[in-house]
Chain A
Amino acid sequence: MQVFKVFMKVLKSRMSAAFLYILIFMIIAIPQAKSSTTEKKFERVPLKIAVFDEDNTPESRKLTEFIAKDNKLISMSNDREELIDALYWMRLDYALIINKGYSENLLSDGTNELFGSYHVHDSYSVSYMSTALDQYVSSVRAYSQSGEDLDSAIAHTEDALSQDTEVHVAEAGKNGVNGQSSTFRAYFNYFSYIIISVIIYTVCPIILTMTRKDIRYRTNCSSIHPNAYTIQLFAGSTVLVLGVWLILIVAGIFATGGFYSGKQWLAVLNSFIYTLVSTSIALLITSFDPSENILNLTAQILGLGMSFLCGVFVPLSMLSDSVASVSKFLPAYWYIRCNSMICGNEIYDSGRLASFMLIQMLFAVVCSVLTMLIRRIKFGTSSEVAA
């Protein structure tokens, strides 16, 4: 067990850096997972609206109060740069100006430009507010045409527009779909980013230290059999990888709010398979004997690149078809597809789920074969291949 012990010794000397990586990646992932909410009932998303009332009449104040019922009024100055910042960073969805003369023109035919609005993105919130304002004005006018005075027309309009409408959220369990909370889905999606980065940052430097040219030559002329060396190196890597996986799975229990149950174990299994894929990728990288800088580059590009292209940071549904087609050549894509199925975003089909997991395993096999091939080409003899 000499090699195994050396592996652990090298690991111990790099433990602080390894824990720092695990900690930092978890700091990145867990708040994001926590920020995803579990919605079982529909709630209107209140818009963040700033109202600048230039009319300042009882009618305009009633409109402001009506808007405030379902939305969040943001108090801010009518400063252009402040507005741009708030609108661009979406701290504000909409800035409404109630123009002077609003109350006088509310019932007249000239209803155009009762309001002004500032917005940066041509978003749904803009469309929503424009429609809501048009609806408010036409309703007041309709009541007025039926003989009501302005105050009564406004009061009835507010009543009519405040009626509750039946809005349900589709049950994920329906149609053979097994739903999981969005926190659970987010954590296990982020898992793919964390595990590949952490494994490359922790496993690769140790393997590289163990297989450094001078150390390799020394080991080769020792009495340790190459197979025993390889097995012990493999055992050391397995302990480390399983340790990292276990830490993340246990952290997941706290992050997702409870012990795993039912189909959640499939997500745990999926994460284990992806851990194997990540380990095989890490071993493939080490076979090129990269410097620490190249290792950092590879970890960043693989971690961030796959996360952006395969639906971790940006949902797959938002990506273009061509990007999604390219993503199919990356293991994270299949990992995310499995998660989507387990979490209820795709129709659950155990056959398809198994095939997606199998595809991930194939990636691991291909990477392992490539690693062996490269080592054979680079080092030639079998004894050195083992090193």
Chain B
Amino acid sequence: MFLHNLKYELISTIRFKDRLFWIILFPIILGAFFKAAFSGIYDNVETFSAMPVAVVGAENDQVLHSMLDSIENSDEPLLKVTYSDEDEALDALVREDILGIIYAGDKLSLTVGGSSIETTVLSSFVEQYNANAAIITQCAKNDPSSIPAVTQTLSEKLDTCREIPVTDGNTDYFTQYFYNLIAMVALYGSFCGIHITINSQANLSPLGARKCCSPTHKSVSMLAALVGNWLIQSLCMIISVTYVVFVLRVDMKEHLPLVYLAAILGGITGVSMGFFIGSLNRVKLPLKNAISMTSSMVLCFLSGLMIGDIKATINEKAPWFNKINPAAVISDSFYCLSIYDNYDKYIVKLATMVIISAIFVILGFAVSRRKKYASL
């Protein structure tokens, strides 16, 4: 009887084309938007590049000119310098064409658009220039004959720091938006989950009324519906991941079978969540849909779908939440695969998904049990 129910659940779910179409189409369209928005953005934003600055009043300052020239002509230039007058420079600063304006003088001063890490680096550069001038003056007082050696030392290029690589994985910060997109598709499986209960309860749908009249035990028919929806959602997840990896070419190929596994478990978590929402008593269908939609969205928002660093903020303030937020757990499973060289944390994430799904399913069955036709 279970297999019979499962067969017809699969057929009826597949025939519910617009729901499937929606779950499949959603990552395709939104993923394409993400790809368009984020292509090359990591190189523009996170990786270091020469900072555009304007220099004002440096016409007669040969020392500053030659120093800036040497910085611009180095292998990894810190600055991209434009010499201009104050009004032009201010306009460029407002348009965000430049990060700051360096004013020449006895001591360099700086005008920036706001506080950021880039402007902090700029201020640090100006401070260092002024500090060097102060050091030379101080050393001249100590021992005037040491000036050539001091100047030589200050202008010498040092390389005091050796960079130690920590991971060979994909460190592109913007890839996490795609992880969260897949997590969102997984949680949208909750819309399928809602319909399991609706199609099983006589007061919610004609199909539910027919099912209630049938001799099949309710738990068997609901379990078959749940498994059927898990299978269909898994198919949707496979299509989504395939699209993200092979069409959008997001760097997730290295552990592809495990990526599929995590996505499928994520989809199962989403359907189970919907199963629980659908089983809530005295809640009308539009509100159930609204709860499903908004909870998926909020969980994905808190996992970083819209603002990438929100997950890190939550990790500082309430790390426990990231451990139980289904969207964060799903996206973290992809992160663990791409960044670590072992599977310990990945396995923990998979286990968390299984536990969350089990809790939703148990709660769903517990809430919807004993609802016979006569008692509704």
Contacts and interface: CB of A to CB of B under 8 A. Distances in A.
B47 A121 contact: yes
A143 interface: yes
A87 to B, nearest CB: 7
A131 B79 CA distance: 13
B127 interface: yes
A83 B286 CA distance: 45
Given A87-B166, A115-B161, A291-B18, A142 B139 contact: yes
A13 B142 CA distance: 85
A319 interface: yes
Contact of A44 (B19, B114, B123, B315): B123
Contacts of A323: 36-37, 39
Contact of B306 (A135, A291, A307): A307
B343 interface: no
B319 to A, nearest CB: 10
Given A166-B110, A309-B37, A43 B135 contact: no
Contacts of B22: 293-294, 296-297
B41 A170 contact: no
A346 interface: yes
Contact of B94 (A114, A134, A177, A300): A177
Contacts of A124: 48, 51, 117-118, 120-121
Contacts of A147: 142-143, 146
A126 to B, nearest CB: 7
A348 B120 CA distance: 28
B114 to A, nearest CB: 5
Contact of A118 (B30, B118, B156, B166): B166
Contacts of B130: 163, 165
Contact of A42 (B115, B284, B307): B115
A112 interface: yes
Given A143-B135, A293-B191, A168 B112 contact: yes
A219 B158 CA distance: 83
Contact of A132 (B96, B112, B124, B297): B124
A143 B142 CA distance: 9
Interface in A300-341: 300-301, 304-305, 307-309, 313-314, 317-320, 322-323, 326
B315 to A, nearest CB: 6
A150 interface: no
Interface stretch (A88-96, A230-238, A350-358, A374-382): A88-96
B340 interface: yes
B204 interface: no
The interface centre, meaning the residue of A27, A148, A296 with most chain B CB atoms within 10 A of its CB, is A296
A368 interface: no
B18 A116 contact: no
A170 B330 CA distance: 43
The interface centre, meaning the residue of A88, A116, A122, A148 with most chain B CB atoms within 10 A of its CB, is A88
Given A88-B173, A139-B154, A148-B142, A17 B120 contact: no
A116 B173 CA distance: 23
The interface centre, meaning the residue of B34, B112, B157, B286 with most chain A CB atoms within 10 A of its CB, is B286
B309 interface: yes
Contacts of A16: 287, 290
B366 to A, nearest CB: 24
A123 B48 contact: yes
A315 to B, nearest CB: 9
B160 A111 contact: yes
B152 to A, nearest CB: 9
Interface stretch (B85-93, B221-229, B250-258, B261-269): B85-93
A144 to B, nearest CB: 9
Contacts of B139: 142-143, 145-146
Contact of A89 (B90, B132, B312): B312
A175 interface: yes
B159 interface: yes
B153 A305 contact: no
Size range of the interface on B?
A: 35 or more
A277 to B, nearest CB: 19
A291 B290 CA distance: 15
A117 B162 CA distance: 6
Interface string B134-175: 110011001100100110011011111111101100010100
Given A24-B298, A87-B166, A134-B158, A314 B138 contact: no
B13 interface: no
Interface in A105-157: 111-135, 137-139, 141-143, 145-148, 156-157
B115 A165 contact: no
Interface string B71-99: 00000001000000001001101111000
Nearest to A121: B46
B214 interface: no
A221 interface: no
Interface of A: 13-14, 16-17, 20-21, 24, 27-28, 32, 39, 42-45, 47, 80-81, 83-84, 87-91, 93, 96-97, 111-135, 137-139, 141-143, 145-148, 156-157, 160-161, 163, 165-170, 172, 174-175, 177, 182, 201, 205, 291-294, 296-297, 300-301, 304-305, 307-309, 313-314, 317-320, 322-323, 326, 344-347
13 contacts: A16-B290, A17-B286, A84-B339, A117-B164, A121-B47, A125-B117, A126-B48, A128-B120, A131-B78, A133-B160, A314-B38, A344-B94, A347-B95
Closest 4 CB pairs of A and B: A146-B139, A17-B290, A166-B109, A89-B312
